[in-house]
Amino acid sequence: MTRHGQGRTFLYRIENVQHRMEQLHHTAGKTPWRQPDLVISCLHELQTALEELQTAEEELRQQNEQLLIAQQLAEAEQHRYQELFEFAPDGYLVTDIYGTICEANRVAASVLNICKQDLIGKNLVSVVPEEDQRSFCMLLNQLPSINRVQEWEIKLLSQDQGLFDAALTIETVRDERGHAIALRWLLRDITARKQADEQLRQMQLQNLQLLEADRLKNQFIAMLSHELRTPMNAILGFSQLLFRQFHQGADPQVVHMVERIVSNGRHLLTLIEEMLDISRLKVNHLELCPSSFDLVELVKSTMHELQSLAKQKELSLQVSLPTNASIPVVNDRTRLHQVLINLMSNAIKFTNIGGVFVEVFELPEGRVAIAVHDTGIGIDPKHQKLIFQEFWQVNQTLTRQHNGTGLGLPITQALVKLMHGSIALESEVGVGSTFRVELPRNVNAG
């Protein structure tokens, strides 16, 4: 039973007692008072009425206790709500349906830089820039007729601190009949987020511009390399004809000049090929042409090509092969030869004392490995992650003494990756370096 129903029951009991007392009084006025039955009846009725009044009094006391407990709970709940409202991490406002502020927490006051007491009674439109006030009022007038939560992003005025970006979440409060009676506003300062978004947008734009510039650079290098390679091949071909013609019986000075033309022509053609390769690799335009061949035979022939280069520096060039005479593989022979040339020639180039040692061995799961060791200058640990970057060289002063573009190792790494393999480096300054390449026997199998 509700408190309202219990109150009506109590009043009914009081009225019933009063009515019965009036009946007794009326009966006593018409009947001689000396009649003993009437006296007994009156006493009995009075006793009953007294008991009912006592019962009603007890019920009233219990109701009062329940009301007191309910009031205390309501006050505690109100206090809890007020604390949650006041100490919420976001700004909260409660306005009437016209935007006049009725409640505001400390964060809202801080965001707007207005004293909390001064906010109460202020209309929200007053913190909207003048040029946006009309559109804000139009949206505000629509809120009472909208049954879903609204989210806006808007510029607001912070007192003495200018404009800031704000995110507003608005909910309409309705009474039991569904009529709009108030508006709840969640207010956030999103200036930092907006700035971060703009910085991210600028970075993305810059990245796109850099990618486009890199694409154009690669396209230009590829075009230039292609255009240079054709005349360079012609120059090299005619130079070799001259060398064969004047090799015997000609003026030694002429022979030396022709030799220099051939040597420098080959070097320049190698540089052109490297630039063309790196541009193709970067745009994924370089494809392998796999065929079957003997890896051991390829390593031996590559070492034979570089033997004269090692002899010029009085370096030993040795190879360690597995017990079986051959290791059949399926790979791009030309590109794997390019990998071996790059690694071995680099080892010879940066080794002055000792030698270069090449090791070939088989691995489980259909893989093979090639390791190139040298006793050269070595690479500092802090530089070891940089050596596969384009145009980077270990020692700028030292490497200027040798021909090279700094593209050999980046091309090698890219080719090994294209072959579904891996390349690793171990090096110590003053001791030497070891490059280890692991490849599948069959690149078609990955």
In terms of domains, do 416 and 295 share one?
A: yes
Please report how the helices 408-418 and 333-349 are oriented relative to each other, as an axis angle in degrees rounded to 10: 150
Residues 312 and 348 grouped into a single domain = yes
Sort 335 into a burial class: Cβ within 10 Å, 0-12 / 13-18 / 19+.
buried
Q: Which residue, chain included where needed, has tokens 């640990």?
A: 381
311 and 435 housed in the same domain? yes
Domain count, the chain: 4
Q: Are residues 394 and 433 in the same domain?
A: yes
Q: Indicate if 134 and 203 belong to the same structural domain.
A: no
Q: Position 62: which residue type?
A: Q
User: Pairing relation of β-strands 150-158 and 180-189?
Assistant: unpaired
- Give CA–CA dist 132/393, Å, rounded: 60
Same domain, residue pair 111 and 144: yes
Last residue of a domain, one of 189, 210, 235: 189
Q: What is the pTM of this model?
A: 0.51
Residue 9 domain boundaries: 3-85
- Asked if 278 and 338 sit in the same domain, the reply is no
Are 19 and 58 found together in one domain?
A: yes
Do residues 179 and 209 share a domain?
Answer: no
Same domain? For 128 and 211 the reply is no
Same domain, residue pair 212 and 180: no
Choose the final residue of a domain: 68, 85, 102: 85
CATH for 201: 1.10.287
Tens of each residue's pLDDT in the chain, 446 residues: 555 555 556 566 666 666 666 666 666 555 554 556 656 666 676 677 767 777 777 777 777 777 777 776 766 666 566 666 566 678 888 999 999 999 888 888 888 888 888 889 999 999 999 999 999 999 999 999 988 889 999 999 887 768 899 999 999 999 889 899 999 998 999 988 999 999 999 999 999 998 888 788 777 777 776 777 778 778 878 887 877 776 666 677 877 787 788 777 777 777 777 777 777 777 677 889 999 999 999 999 999 988 988 998 999 999 998 877 789 999 999 999 999 999 999 999 999 999 999 999 999 989 999 999 999 999 888 888 888 887 666 555 444 455 566 788 888 999 999 999 999 999 999 999 999 999 999 998 66
CA gap 394, 440 in Å, rounded: 30
